[in-house]
Structure 1
């Protein structure tokens, strides 16, 4: 989901850095950011209702990367939709449905590249997709939490309470101090 415009507002307190700096420390990660990025590889499969776990594989690859560098990941999932964003969610759903319609039509016209680009915009990361990632995290003992609402706010809370020493949004590591 994400809070539109949040990262630019936090720019003055961000410190971009290398993951090696956080070896031995716990870093909060926005799970839905990784899941969304992971759906790029399987957008057509998802639109066609074909079974795939490529989005989980993508996310778990990044979890293993953090572990490889000695970073302890703390994965944070979005929870319920914010009531104040109800209209935004309805609009997003309409845009996704229109992108799916266009993408499937392009697919039927044998234009896979154009279809793929359009269908990437149609993907909605579902609670079931998140559940699949949670199941994989449990298997390797990685901590996670489902936020009451947005993961962004939960990530800030975890850092402020000293539970995590930094945050990772998509592919940007940020220490908020």
Structure 2
């Protein structure tokens, strides 16, 4: 498969095609907020992101920063070749529940220990997810959990025709 042509990078932007594989974990000085059912279910500046080639960043927030009852054990699990075994959460807020809308790595693989006790959320299943004051766009396709913000350019894996990237 031929690598897609990266979009031009402007001032203050970064290309997902410059992100590494295997993915890198980094702490960022950003504020993350998530709203569901008209309720803010998390608002924190304790933010870690995972960067992987062709993917917008996945943001991981402390589980204990979510309001009480927002994270409920969900069904199923999955496995990432880099980060290890994931467990899912149903996410609740404002009288709404979104099944399997978040995940965590209870025992992250070596090199990803900073993800322990943190949760990532599928932006497309929430009312709004914000990084600083920018509402994010969900990564295309519904399978991956990246958050697209104005400073990140693609093209992004997840949309039609991107499976082999």
TM-score for the superposition, normalised by structure 1: 0.26
Q: Which has the higher contact order (CA 8 A, sep 6+)?
A: 1
- Which structure has the greater CA radius of gyration? 1
- More strand as a share of residues: 2
- More helix as a share of residues: 1
